[in-house]
Amino acid sequence: MRRAAIIAILVLMAFTAVAGSAYGAFAALVRVTKAVPASVTVQLLPVRVHPVAPPTAVGRSEIDVVVQADGARDLMGAQMALTYDSALMSFVSAQPTTRFDDCFAASNDVVGVVSLALVCSVSRSGASLDLWTVAFRVANVVTSTRADLAVADVLLSDSQVQTIVSVGDTSSVDIVPGVCGDMNGDELVNVFDAILDLQIIVGLVSPTSAHMLLGDVVRDGEINVFDVILTLQHIVGLTVITSCGPPAAAINLRDAQWEPPWINNATTFSVEQHEYGYPG
């Protein structure tokens, strides 16, 4: 009996030793797994800053060009140049978008180049940040002509007054002949055009692509009663039709498109701040 007890104690001691060793090895493994690498290299993707313009504009009309930054994080300030073809476009105005309406901003147009700068007291982050709306009047043309736009000399800052790596990009707008509101092609805007608007609305006339461009004077993407009202107001002098056609294409990035730069840049930020880990 006594011998059996001694054997049991020896077996227990052996098991404890093995278990302790196993635990030690496991703990060491966990420590190795959780160890912070000596150096972490994460490639920061540049924030793309680009002009967003309507694909088509009618000669002599006004267009809005939105300057957009894709995938910026902790954006506190921005400056850049928006270049345009001064033979085909003339500058009208530049305003920060509503997203930045509490920021300080300045702009200056010197033929062909609009210099833009803004600084905020609270930083912004987003997949597609609309920074400025820059309005241009396009020239009259006799044949369809492409006008180029480009963002250059970009400098973005985060809240630590550090550079956010960025790259400027280009866009273009096709300027086509025509008169906004003129649906029958006589280069005048009068009651004939309002009649054609109504006939399109009720389905008596199938609109051509030119109709869709010239008749959408409210710029909501379709010919509807609002265009008829604005056309009538223009005829009697209550207002002036200044533009037409679809609004600037909303090229806001979809989730699948913006996640890579966003997550990558956020991870990089987290690595810099905390040495390791995934952004919370």
Binding site for Ca ion (CB under 5 A): 182, 184, 186, 188, 193, 216, 218, 220, 227
25's tokens: 């090895």
SS (H, E, C) 102-160: CCEEEEEEECCEEEEEEEEEEEEEEEEEEEEEEEEEECCCCCCEEEEEEEEEEEEEECC
Which amino acid does the sequence have at 205? V
Whichever of 127 and 198 has its CB closer to Ca ion, that residue is 198
Whichever of 92 and 195 has its CB closer to Ca ion, that residue is 195
Whichever of 57 and 89 has its CB closer to Ca ion, that residue is 57
Least Å from the CB of residue 89 to Ca ion: 23
Least Å from the CB of residue 182 to Ca ion: 4
What element of type H or E holds 89? Answer: strand 89-96
Least Å from the CB of residue 139 to Ca ion: 21
Least Å from the CB of residue 100 to Ca ion: 28
Q: Tell me the C-alpha distance between 111 and 252, whole Å.
A: 29
Q: Tell me the C-alpha distance between 149 and 252, whole Å.
A: 18
Q: Tell me the C-alpha distance between 132 and 105, whole Å.
A: 10
DSSP class of 88:
T
Whichever of 190 and 270 has its CB closer to Ca ion, that residue is 190
Least Å from the CB of residue 228 to Ca ion: 9
